[in-house]
Amino acid sequence: MKGITIVLGLAACIDTALAHYRWTSLVANGTKSADYYYVRQNTNYNSPVTDVTSTDIRCNAGGLSGSSTNVATLTAGSTVGFQLDQSIYHIGPILVYMSKAPSAVGSYDGSGSWFKISQLGPTFSSGAINWPTQVDKYSFTIPKSVPSGQYLLRVEHIGLHQGNQAKGAQFYISCANVNVVGGGSGAPGPTIKLPGGYSATDPGILFNPYYPVPTSYTFPGPAVWSG
C-alpha cells in the first residue's frame, strides 16, 4: 500500500515538475521563427489548461491579447507548422483551428467562430492504440479557399494520460497571429465557440485510454473543413 502511494505521488510530482512541452514557434516557408515571435506567449509557463469552460481554452492563459506579438503572412494552400520546445510526451491527439479576426488580429480575443483545419489522432492495430509519438513539430495546410485576411491560428495537444478522470484531460495550446494572403471564397465551417464547443464529458476528452483498450477515438470539436 505504501509503495503504491509513493509511486502515485511520484507520478503526480513528475507531471507538474518536469518542463512541459510548449508550442513556441511557427514554421512558415520552411523557416522556424523565433520563440513567441508569431505565437502569443502564455502566462502559465508550461502548465496545461484543464477547464474547457474557461476563456483560457482559446489561446492558453494570457493569450487573449496578441498586441505585442508579430503577424505572420501565410499563403493559402501552403504548408505551415507549429514547433514545440521539446517533444510531446503525453498521449493524445493534435488539433488545429482558425478564427477570423474582425479587424487587426493583434487585438482579437478569439471570441468569434472557430473552424478546424487539421487533426491527428491514434491508429489502432491488433488490439493496441497507438498515439503519435516523438512529435516535436506538427505541419498542416492552410486551406486554399480560406478567405484572405487576419486570423488566429490555434494548435492544441490534448494530454489524455489522465483522461479517464473528470477534468483530467490537459490542453496544451498556442495561438499565432497570422495574415492569410492569396485566399479564396470558401465558407469555413462547421464552427464552434471557445469556450462552448468543448464539454468536459465529450467522448474525446473524458476518455479512458487504457482499459478496455479503445478501438476508436472521437475527436472533440467540429469536423475538419477541407477548404
Ligand X SMILES: *[C@@H]1O[C@H](CO)[C@@H](O)[C@H](O)[C@H]1NC(C)=O
Q: Which of the choices Cu ion, ligand X, none does residue 79 contact, using the CB cut-off of 5 to 8 A by kind?
A: none
Least distance from C-beta 155 to Cu ion, angstroms? Answer: 17
Q: What are the cell numbers at 43?
A: 502566462
Nearer to Cu ion, 15 or 35 (CB): 15
Spell out the residues 6+ positions from residue 65 whose beta carbon is closer than 8 angstroms to its own: 40, 106, 107, 109
Between CA 63 and CA 21 the distance in angstroms is 17
Q: Which of 15, 35, 85, 202 binds Cu ion (CB under 5 A)?
A: 15
Between CA 1 and CA 186 the distance in angstroms is 59
Q: Convert residues 73-102 into a mask of x (bound to ligand X by CB under 6 A) and - (unbound).
A: x-x---------------------------
Q: Convert residues 36-75 into a mask of x (bound to ligand X by CB under 6 A) and - (unbound).
A: ------------------------------------xx-x
Q: What are the cell numbers at 158?
A: 490534448
Between CA 175 and CA 101 the distance in angstroms is 13
DSSP state of 17: H
Q: Which of 20, 22, 28, 39 binds ligand X (CB under 6 A)?
A: 28
Q: Does 209 bind Cu ion (CB under 5 A)?
A: no
DSSP state of 14: H
Q: What are the cell numbers at 210?
A: 487504457
Q: Does 208 bind ligand X (CB under 6 A)?
A: no
Nearer to ligand X, 168 or 182 (CB): 182
Query: Residue 128, class by beta-carbon neighbours within 10 Å (0-12 exposed, 13-18 middle, 19+ buried)?
Result: exposed
Nearer to Cu ion, 1 or 14 (CB): 14
Least distance from C-beta 196 to ligand X, angstroms? Answer: 31
Between CA 22 and CA 83 the distance in angstroms is 8
Interface residues toward ligand X, by CB under 6 A? 28-29, 72-73, 75
Binding site for Cu ion (CB under 5 A): 15
